[in-house]
Amino acid sequence: MRFMVLLKVEAEVGPELNRAMRAYDAELERAGVADHAKLAARGARTAPNVSGEGRTVAGFWVFDVDNREDAAAWVRRCPAPADGSAEIEIRLLLEPGDLSERPQQGKQRPVWERAMAF
């Protein structure tokens, strides 16, 4: 399964956190969870915070793991600040075969698919 993991930090990001994130990226690569060359976190976006204090730094990874629990276990290892300035989301990425263009007659569609039919 593929999951997008979004990290958003609303604080000054110093060299210690940068080193910790590079080590985390390397650990993900060694484990085969995310390919360092493909990590979108390397292209993180930095912009002034709306309040004018500090900065907001955001980036994401694409994890290839067996299930959501494995993705959550890797997220718990992320060196994001534990002071409440970081927010992490885990989102399932659907593959092209996960969505059908038309439902088959007489077959109940999954809830997520019915919700997407707008």
List pLDDT tens digits, range 32-83.
Answer: 998 755 654 455 554 544 444 557 778 888 899 999 999 999 999 999 988 8
Q: Which own/partner pairs from 46-50 qualify as long-range (CB within 8 Å, at least 24 positions apart)?
A: 49/10
CA distance 62 to 2: 7
CA distances from 41 to 22, 25, 35, 37 (A): 10, 9, 11, 10
Specify the pLDDT at position 30: 93
79-92: pLDDT as tens digits? 998 888 899 999 99
The structural domains of the chain, ordered by start, are 2-116 (3.30.70)
